[in-house]
Amino acid sequence: MTSFARAERARLCDLAVEAGPDAPTLCGDWTVRDLMAHLVLRENSPLSAGVVVPALAGVTERATARTAEKKTFEELVEKVRKARNPMGALKAVDQALNTAEYFVHHEDVRRAVPGWEPRTLTSGEQDALWRVVRVSGKGLVRPAGVPVVARRSDTGDTSTLRAGSAPVTVTGEPQELLLFVYGRQETRGLTFEGPDDSVAQLREARLGI
């Protein structure tokens, strides 16, 4: 059975081919070509460390640009699709490291197009994304500096992402909660409850990696 992470990888690659190399994404100024180069670098080179280590950001940017220039768009997409790398070698590792990466970047391409609509995911897929929210969300919301609780709108389950009194409770489907904690503004159906100043601080913060 194909894992959710691998399914999202394939869907992203299919959409990348459909959109074309110069199509926009939600990743700042990156085009789809730039996004594919980032993924190739992430899975094949330690030079991708600048994504999470600010001091190395310039090194990573230059390496990403070189990767985008050296390979054709088709080669980049196929290298991502085949996933011949240690990070995707084992199913458990693939799920842990790649579920959020490929879901978020798939949506980065989908939601950069005007008129986008949220996808309908299975309960199992929503559960997989909720697990990421519960674990990774704790670090991703830290820049906001306010207590945060995530609540699933489909099941009512909650998870404290940052403890404290008078938290902001963010309610929505797991896919929307995940995109929010990863710093994406193109979300749908999220509600925010809590002190007005804390809500504003959370919504204006630069979340994510």
CATH number of 131-204: 3.30.1050
**Max avg pLDDT among 53-57, 60-64, 68-72, 125-129:** 125-129
Comparison of pLDDT for 50 and 133, the residue scoring more: 133
Interatomic CA distance for residues 130 and 178, integer angstroms: 7
Interatomic CA distance for residues 86 and 84, integer angstroms: 7
Query: At residue 48, does pLDDT exceed 50?
Result: no
Report the predicted TM-score, pTM, of the whole model to 2 decimal places: 0.85
Interatomic CA distance for residues 70 and 73, integer angstroms: 10
What average pLDDT does the segment 126-151 reach?
96
Percent of the chain clearing pLDDT 90 (strictly above): 73
Interatomic CA distance for residues 69 and 158, integer angstroms: 45
What average pLDDT does the segment 104-111 reach?
98
What average pLDDT does the segment 63-84 reach?
80
Average predicted confidence (pLDDT) for the chain: 87
Query: At residue 19, does pLDDT exceed 80?
Result: yes
Domain boundaries, the chain: 4-110, 131-204
Full 3-state SS string of 51-107: HCCHHHHHHHHHHHHHHHHHCCHHHHHHHHHHCCCHHHCCHHHHHHHHHHHHHHHHH
Comparison of pLDDT for 5 and 173, the residue scoring more: 173
Comparison of pLDDT for 209 and 36, the residue scoring more: 36
Give the tokens for residue 123. 């309960």
Please provide residue 191's backbone torsions phi and psi, each rounded to the nearest 5 degrees.
Answer: -120, 150
Please provide residue 144's backbone torsions phi and psi, each rounded to the nearest 5 degrees.
Answer: -70, -30
Interatomic CA distance for residues 194 and 136, integer angstroms: 22
Query: At residue 94, does pLDDT exceed 70?
Result: no
Q: What is the pLDDT of residues 183-202, one digit of tens each?
A: 999 999 999 999 999 999 99
> Does residue 190 contact residue 180 with C-beta atoms inside 8 Å?
yes
What average pLDDT does the segment 39-57 reach?
55
What pLDDT score does 70 carry? Answer: 73
